Structure 1
Amino acid sequence: MSEHESVNKTALYYVNEPPINDYIETFFANYASIPIEKLRDHLLTVRDRAWQKCNYPCLGRWVFLHFSIQKSPIYKEIIEKCKNEGATVIDFACCLGQDVRQLVYDGVPIDRIRGYDLDPFFIEQGYKLFRDGEIMQQNKVFSSGDIFNDQFLDAIEPADYVNVGAFFHIFDAETQRDVCRRLTRLCKRAIIGWKTGALIPTELPKPLSFEGTMMWHSPESFMRMWDEVTDGKWQVESTTLKTMDGLEDLGLALTFVVRKRGEQ
């Protein structure tokens, strides 16, 4: 890749200004006590620090401000089960932990939520972004670990629901099958999230300086993968393939619900 091509690709995955809207202003004012006039600089400081650590497109393009968990078709179910029946949630590959904060913001007791990420640096940046490090650490909400480490997985108590946003698509086709198996070890009821998808299943090189390939599933191939990997014990209950607001140039997002058969 030439230097010019590298610059163009970096520009595609990095936007200077945060997409601040009424919801984001209200959320940060209520949750983190950040006044509107200070919000832009606060978001830029944390995002750019995280981007310098790793050029993830979800950081460069402010995807973490979408709070994508609330767009799940069973989000209302999750909130009600957690608040009224003691259900629990794991946010896996949580990065800055925005979906954990969305759950707390919507009334889920903090002791029913856990977040895991490979790199503790991003967990720390989440504390800074949401200004809640003290309470999150007191309740031991976040931990770091590797999904491919069996000892780590065995030590995790499974939750009723597992959320995985912007995670599946960073792996090739065969590794995604392994990820499916591993996520079922952490979940008792349903796995939700989103990944980059396509109308036609496509495996292509990872962007920027990342090595290897990434598999973009279609709804049909995603359903087939889960059925094959779990011998039909887990069923893709719903899939939606569409562009994400403000990210139309980055392709399609596949939002999914995968439920263990017999669990509602």
Structure 2
Amino acid sequence: MTSQSDSQLSTDARQLLESYGGIPAEEITDHVVKVRDEAWEVFPYPCIGQFCFLDLSLKHTTVYPEVPQHLAEGQRLFDMACCFEQEIRQLVADGAPSENIYGCDLREEYVKLGYQLFQDRNRLQSHFLAADIFDKSSSLADLRGTFDMVYAGSFFHLFNYDDQIEVSTTVARLFRPVKGSFIVGRQVGTVNAAAHDHRTNPTGKMYRHNPRSLKEMWEKIGHDLGVSFTVDATLQQLPSDHFRFHTEDTRLIHFVIRRE
């Protein structure tokens, strides 16, 4: 793996590592590179190689101001595919009670590396589990109907269309059966919704949504579950350097999906 340049690490990430993680500013770059290289050996996801695993997206969403407030009131949040759990650490840094936050990833090694990255094993009280979302007998089944909020960053887009329906349905079942529960997140999208090749997916395909296709998919999921969902989704331009890896119509799609 190549070494980390200072420009690749966002200001948000640096502030969190310094203020919450207690890592001296002059040591942050070397510290992140060391953890990144260990993560790459676990599995070579592109987001690991490109240092996107420290992106902080939730704090920049329109719903973020209500999330720490809801957590303080006793509601619970689930971070789906939490990787190094950086979004959870940001919530805690912003005053949210960590014991009301859960995170899940396919690979338990990333949870351990998250503690190493943020040096908080003895103070963070969030709950983490390793589970395969396609495994109907995993520990996720025990958590159905217990969450008010779900964060899903760079997760749903990993799968083809049919698998996205299955995965999204599983996530929707995590909601408490009350109006207002929501999923917030972002992922790779596109101007024209379509399947694309994806080398880290076992099927070799990923489906990229635009706002219309995402709404249509959640209409189907809602119909199957007997629940209505509203979908607020927008496309955003990618940074110019990302087009080395994507086609010209690739975008980021940001979404909030609420249970009615």
TM-score, normalised to structure 2's length?
Answer: 0.87
Q: Choose 30-39 or 225-234, whichever is displaced more.
A: 225-234
Match of 1:3 in 2: none
1:74/1:114 Cα in 2 relative to 1: closer, same or farther (>3 Å)?
A: same
Instruction: Measure, in 2, the Cα distance between the counterparts of 1:149 and 1:135.
Output: 31
Contact residue 99 and residue 127 of structure 2 kept, 8 A: yes
What is the aligned counterpart of 1:112 among 100, 113, 136? 100
1:96/1:234 Cα in 2 relative to 1: closer, same or farther (>3 Å)?
A: farther
Q: Choose 231-240 or 92-101, whichever is displaced more.
A: 231-240
Match of 2:189 in 1: 197
In structure 2, stretches of 5+ residues that fail to align are none
Q: Choose 233-242 or 118-127, whichever is displaced more.
A: 233-242
Match of 1:4 in 2: none
Q: Which secondary structure does the structure 1 equivalent of 2:123 belong to? A: helix
Contact residue 15 and residue 61 of structure 1 kept, 8 A: no
Instruction: Measure, in 1, the Cα distance between the counterparts of 2:3 and 2:198.
Output: 19
Q: Using the TM superposition, give the Cα deviation of residue 211 of structure 1 relative to its aligned residue in structure 2, in angstroms.
A: 4.9
Instruction: Measure, in 1, the Cα distance between the counterparts of 2:241 and 2:230.
Output: 25
**Aligned positions of 1:114-129 closer than 5 A:** 114-129=102-117
Q: Using the TM superposition, give the Cα deviation of residue 192 of structure 1 relative to its aligned residue in structure 2, in angstroms.
A: 1.1
Match of 1:32 in 2: 21
Contact residue 205 and residue 211 of structure 1 kept, 8 A: no
What is the aligned counterpart of 1:49 among 30, 38, 45? 38
Q: Confirm whether residue 155 of structure 1 aligns to residue 147 of structure 2.
A: no
Q: Using the TM superposition, give the Cα deviation of residue 59 of structure 1 relative to its aligned residue in structure 2, in angstroms.
A: 1.2
Contact residue 236 and residue 256 of structure 1 kept, 8 A: no
Instruction: Measure, in 1, the Cα distance between the counterparts of 2:174 and 2:160.
Output: 21
Q: Which secondary structure does the structure 1 equivalent of 2:252 belong to? A: strand
Q: Using the TM superposition, give the Cα deviation of residue 66 of structure 1 relative to its aligned residue in structure 2, in angstroms.
A: 1.8
Q: Confirm whether residue 239 of structure 1 aligns to residue 238 of structure 2.
A: no
Match of 2:58 in 1: 69
Q: Using the TM superposition, give the Cα deviation of residue 60 of structure 1 relative to its aligned residue in structure 2, in angstroms.
A: 1.4
1:143/1:22 Cα in 2 relative to 1: closer, same or farther (>3 Å)?
A: same
* Identical-pair percentage: 30
Instruction: Measure, in 2, the Cα distance between the counterparts of 1:259 and 1:79.
Output: 17
Instruction: Measure, in 2, the Cα distance between the counterparts of 1:38 and 1:26.
Output: 13
Instruction: Measure, in 1, the Cα distance between the counterparts of 2:129 and 2:173.
Output: 17
1:21/1:149 Cα in 2 relative to 1: closer, same or farther (>3 Å)?
A: closer
Question: Could you tell me which amino acid in structure 2 is paired with residue 147 of structure 1?
Answer: I
Question: What count of residue pairs does the alignment treat as equivalent?
Answer: 246
Q: Using the TM superposition, give the Cα deviation of residue 257 of structure 1 relative to its aligned residue in structure 2, in angstroms.
A: 0.5
Q: Over the residues paired in the alignment, what is the CA RMSD in angstroms?
A: 2.2
Match of 2:164 in 1: 176
Match of 2:173 in 1: 185
Q: Which secondary structure does the structure 2 equivalent of 1:38 belong to? A: helix
Q: Choose 245-254 or 29-38, whichever is displaced more.
A: 245-254
Instruction: Measure, in 1, the Cα distance between the counterparts of 2:168 and 2:182.
Output: 12
**Aligned positions of 1:195-234 closer than 5 A:** 195-207=187-199, 211-231=203-223, 233-234=227-228
Q: Which secondary structure does the structure 1 equivalent of 2:82 belong to? A: coil
Q: Which secondary structure does the structure 2 equivalent of 1:187 belong to? A: coil
Q: Using the TM superposition, give the Cα deviation of residue 162 of structure 1 relative to its aligned residue in structure 2, in angstroms.
A: 0.6
Match of 1:255 in 2: 254
Q: Choose 67-76 or 208-217, whichever is displaced more.
A: 208-217
Q: Using the TM superposition, give the Cα deviation of residue 204 of structure 1 relative to its aligned residue in structure 2, in angstroms.
A: 1.4
1:247/1:241 Cα in 2 relative to 1: closer, same or farther (>3 Å)?
A: farther
Match of 2:89 in 1: 101
Q: Using the TM superposition, give the Cα deviation of residue 21 of structure 1 relative to its aligned residue in structure 2, in angstroms.
A: 4.5
Q: Please state which structure has a larger fraction of its residues in helix.
A: 1
Q: Using the TM superposition, give the Cα deviation of residue 185 of structure 1 relative to its aligned residue in structure 2, in angstroms.
A: 1.0
